[in-house]
Structure 1
Amino acid sequence: MPKLSIVIPCYFNEANIPITARELIANEALFPPEVTFEYVLVDDGSRDNTLRELLTFRAAYPDKVRVVELAGNVGSYNAIVAGMEHATGDCLAIITADMQDPPELMVQMYEYWKKGLKLIIGNRQDREETGLQKFFANTFHALMKRIALPNIPDGGFDFVFFDRHVAEEILRLKERNSNIFYLMVWLGYPYVNIPYVRRKRKLGKSRWTLQKKVKLLIDSIMAFSFFPIRAISVLGILLGFGALFYGIYIAVLKELGDIQVEGWTALMVVMLFVAAFQMIALGIIGEYVWRGLDAARKRPLYVVQQVYEQSNLGADRQLPQS
């Protein structure tokens, strides 16, 4: 019997967990009877009652719910990796804890998986959110599609269904400061995408801050594109040619005796422009160097404080891990 592991990162989701649990359990009835379920819920260092709600869900379904408590907040992508490492299913799905993505879509995803596809993507055709949040998301994914991964679906995605083999490849790579969903596409497996409309969040407050969004943008670009380094090279060459032609122009004026004392403003503008370009270039290079240093340290992506699961004897156990 195929086993489906549903990985859910949780961060300040105490209000959502009871509703999420009910929807997930109800969604099981839509699957063929031979499918068994495992829910791997990862508490990403929440400081509210998220863990308590997760353990309540686990207590109601101890044979299918596993709760992974991380020692601190490491970000949703690293929390997803932790969930994948503790999942035991033949196929896996990643869904958010706030139920903005329709869990019933997993039934269609499962049918594609049975046909042999290793990756099925639920991509956001549209979203009910408005304003800056929608604008940022659309701009981000359009930019990534243009300069990094042209084969990703339009609209972006973070709702995926994939084979165990894909999970093993992601775990083997252990990439840091990256985008785990884009990494799945980067692996190269053929995939099918299913468009849907992302729901508006009804409970709780999103912790996906502007700072985290900017970091994700930088991480995604630098993990999958050489565009920043290439842009520095191109601009450097253009500035070099500009300096060469301007130098020739100055030399000709000197020979003709037309050089005057004026020119302080133009000189300062050129100097400030070049200095600004140099600082930006150093900043971009520094981002790459820092990521190399971070990878060389080989620090763990996360530290597991406890795992709440069923032992072979059927008794609940708490496993401290690191």
Structure 2
Amino acid sequence: MKLSLVVPCYNEQKSLESFSKEIFSILDSISKDHSNTTLTFECIFVNDGSKDNTIELLLALKAMQSYSPNDKDLAVHNENIIESKQSITQDSNPYNLTMPPNNCEIKVIDFTRNFGKEAAMYAGLKESSGDCVVIMDADLQDPPLLLPQMFKKWLQNEADIIYARRINRAGEGFIRSRLSEGFYTLHNLISSVHLESGVRDFRLLDRQVVNALLSMSEYHRFSKAMFEWVGFRKIGLEYENIPRHQGSSGWSLWKLFKYSVEGFISFSTMPLRIAFILGFVMSLFSLGYGLYAIIGALCFGNVVRGWTSLVALIVFIGGMQLIILGIIGEYIARIYEQVKRRPIYIKRHGRKDS
């Protein structure tokens, strides 16, 4: 039996030392708790175009592994990865990383640039070969201590998806927190896919769930909703919010805004319907006002006055038309990008020891 771990990494140089210590300790404890089962692990680190020394740390971590399936040369699972059998002892470890367990294989995927977390998760899922796959961040805001609980519930066949949900946003900025809550509320109003507030990407997925996700070939991916859309049995584990241990978040407000728009567009046609309704209501209003002006002029001799109100009305209608065109344009742009069939990500080839 194999458990795969997918870890997207973007500028995680400061976090990887703590993360490797935590996660490998957890994997060791899982092995001991299930000693009656032949259990192996694979940790798939995806370097998403980091600008710091993240890739160097990942390659050093990979070189430290002692995993060798069937006592043969380590199999090559990626065309861009040249396997290295170099061994590094803890004394010569330049980054103070923790040695992986003997039953843990380390894989590194190196992107040519920053393609985004969605692409990194997709690449990791595509590379994984485990009976179940766990997605988690390297910043330790996803508590590794939940991993044994997730694995146990999966072994007991309680669910196909076991996800983590934070029950508060302690330590998070007020504006960021309110905007996040507003996003979930608005998304659930206009989308047929319900998203639970506080649910993270941190979750365990059964192999059949992974296969279902990989069959969805969207160029613009919104995994939070995709996890819900595919169905399957789900169980949530709650936890208190954990502040980031090292470094800073790569998610600016602008990136979060674009990600939110992605969620609205990917899983709802309601914006198009709202645009149609607005256009219909404005047409009725214009028709009614026109009839009122004509009847007033013909029957009562009233002359409609007020250039200011007329100009304001024209500007308002013009603004609404531009908004509606923008909404339509967002959908058309996604169709255009999808039909180009560009790859979701590009891996770096021939990197030494990667």
What amino acid sits opposite 1:161 in the alignment?
L
Q: Select the residue among 112, 122, 125 that pairs with 2:164.
A: 122
Q: Select the residue among 84, 99, 110 that pairs with 2:140.
A: 99
After superposition, the CA RMSD in angstroms is: 1.8
Secondary structure at the counterpart of residue 304 of structure 1: coil
Q: Is the 8 A contact 1:68 1:306 kept in 2?
A: no
Structure 2: how far apart are the matches of 1:142 and 1:113? 30
Q: Is the 8 A contact 1:123 1:158 kept in 2?
A: no
Residues 221-240 of structure 1 correspond to what in structure 2 (within 5 A)?
221-240=264-283
Question: Residues 261 and 127 (structure 1 numbering): CA distance in 2 closer, same or farther, change over 3 Å?
Answer: closer
Question: Alpha-carbon deviation of 1:154?
Answer: 2.9
| Matched residue, 1:52 | 56
| Matched residue, 1:271 | 314
Task: Give a deviation string over 1:45-79, Cα, whole Å, max 9, x none.
Answer: 11210001111222222521111111111001101
Task: Give a deviation string over 1:237-293, Cα, whole Å, max 9, x none.
Answer: 111111121111111111134433621011111101110010000001000000001
Higher relative contact order (CA 8 A, sep 6+): 2
Q: Select the residue among 321, 324, 328 that pairs with 1:281.
A: 324
Structure 2: how far apart are the matches of 1:106 and 1:59? 25
Higher share in strand: 1
Q: Select the residue among 217, 220, 244 that pairs with 1:177.
A: 220
What amino acid sits opposite 1:121 in the alignment?
Y
Q: Is the 8 A contact 1:141 1:156 kept in 2?
A: no
| Matched residue, 2:76 | none
Question: Alpha-carbon deviation of 1:25?
Answer: 0.4
Secondary structure at the counterpart of residue 192 of structure 1: strand
What amino acid sits opposite 1:51 in the alignment?
I
Question: Residues 161 and 173 (structure 1 numbering): CA distance in 2 closer, same or farther, change over 3 Å?
Answer: same
Q: Is the 8 A contact 2:12 2:247 kept in 1?
A: yes
Structure 1 unpaired stretches of 5+: 309-315
| Matched residue, 1:83 | 124
Task: Give a deviation string over 1:183-209, Cα, whole Å, max 9, x none.
Answer: 011012121111112211121111111
| Matched residue, 2:82 | none
How many pairs align?
310
Q: Is the 8 A contact 1:127 1:200 kept in 2?
A: no
Structure 2: how far apart are the matches of 1:307 and 1:205? 30
What amino acid sits opposite 1:167 in the alignment?
V
| Matched residue, 2:16 | 17
Question: Alpha-carbon deviation of 1:149?
Answer: 4.5
Structure 2 unpaired stretches of 5+: 68-104
Tell me if 1:253 matches 2:296: yes
Q: Is the 8 A contact 2:163 2:234 kept in 1?
A: yes
| Matched residue, 1:27 | 26
Secondary structure at the counterpart of residue 164 of structure 2: strand
Question: Alpha-carbon deviation of 1:138?
Answer: 2.2
User: TM-score, normalising length from structure 2?
Assistant: 0.83
